[in-house]
Amino acid sequence: KLVSKKWKAKPTSVDLGDNIFIKDGEMAVITGPCSIESEEQIRAVVAHCIENDIKMMRGGVFKPRSSPYAFRGLGLEGLKLWHEIASEAGIKIVTEVMQTSQIEEMYPYVDVYQVGARNSQNFNLLDELGKVDKAVMIKRGISGTIEELLQSAEYVFSGGNEKLILCERGIRTYERASRNTLDLNAIPILKAKSHLPVIVDPSHGIGIRAYVPQMALAGVMSGADGIIYESHEVPEKAYSDGQQTLDFAQSARLAAWIRESFAMR
Ligand code: PEP
Ligand code: MN
């Protein structure tokens, strides 16, 4: 496979511009709400990122919701507004693309296209992202194996897009005490098998706010190249995933802990 270390020994460095990279040997900190909700909310998160030297912000404008009645995002208009505010602050945008028709309309406003867990094996979407000249982060499928994640990455990489990032976000197991089971094992295994950077999402991985920091740190110590977690000014009021979202004080502390842990690794 082209994404394997056997094919390419040198770690792939994903360049987002302005001297911002997701790569081996650096710790990428990505935070933001589950969903982009309003201009006020965007401004609050951007200010939080600036204060804490966080250069990449996450947020969904097209939301894959388990219920069709749940909030499904602000769409392209929300993304344009977010881009206006974030780019002025020098902050990169990580956001989910749900279908091929969105790739082109999102292109001017996105820095990393996120492929969600539910779309991890949407091979048409992966094929199309393979033709794009912009970074792609693929999340592991809800019940996806490590091998399946690597095969999904292969679709994009073999299509010509080498700006690829893998994301462990927890898998479905028999355990119901947590939302998902964060598979820390996947991190050293993915790092050994592939030259691509690996990011950990402890928010979706455990799904419980109080335990997100320790799982983030476990991810750092497992060898991850970055952490992506959900934060919001008032998590209790978040339109989605509030139960696993950190407030800004918790987020600030965690960002510092992540960097300290990485420095000790
Ligand atoms: C998200 O990042 O908010 C999200 C929907 O993640 P996942 O696809 O991992 O469930
Ligand atoms: Mn979420």
User: Interface pTM (ipTM) of the complex?
Assistant: 0.99
Which ligand 1 atom is at minimum distance from the Cα of 204? 9
81-107 core/surface letters (b: 16 or more CB in 10 A; e: else) = bbbebbeeeebbbbbbbbeeebbeebe
- The two tokens of residue 101 are 């028709």
CA angle 95, 167, 200 (to 5 degrees): 100
C-alpha 252 chain-centroid distance: 18
Which ligand 1 atom is at minimum distance from the Cα of 240? 3
3-state secondary structure of 169: coil
3-state secondary structure of 108: helix
pTM over 0.90: yes
| Fold observed for domain 14-264 | TIM Barrel (3.20.20)
Q: Whose CA is nearest to atom 3 of ligand 1?
A: 34
> Phi and psi dihedrals of 112, rounded to 5?
-135, 120
Q: Give tens-digit pLDDT for 149-170.
A: 999 999 999 999 999 999 999 9
- Confidence band, pLDDT 50/70/90 cuts, at residue 187: very high
| Residues contacting ligand 1 via CB (< 6 Å) | 34, 60, 64, 116-118, 139, 169, 204
Which percentage of the chain shows pLDDT scores above 70? 100
Q: Among 109, 95, 92, which Cα is nearest to 59's?
A: 95
In one-letter notation, the amino acid at residue 9 is A
Q: Whose CA is nearest to atom 4 of ligand 1?
A: 116
> Which of 31, 201, 228 most suits a substitution to test ligand 1, by most atoms within 8 Å of the C-beta?
201
Q: Give tens-digit pLDDT for 98-116.
A: 999 999 999 999 999 999 9
Which H helix or E strand runs over 165? Answer: strand 164-168
Q: Could you list which residues have their CB under 5 Å from ion ligand 2?
A: 34, 241
d(CA 111, ligand 1 centre) in Å:
17
Matching residue, tokens 């898998």:
171
- Confidence band, pLDDT 50/70/90 cuts, at residue 211: very high
d(CA 89, ligand 2 centre) in Å:
24
- What does DSSP assign to residue 22? E
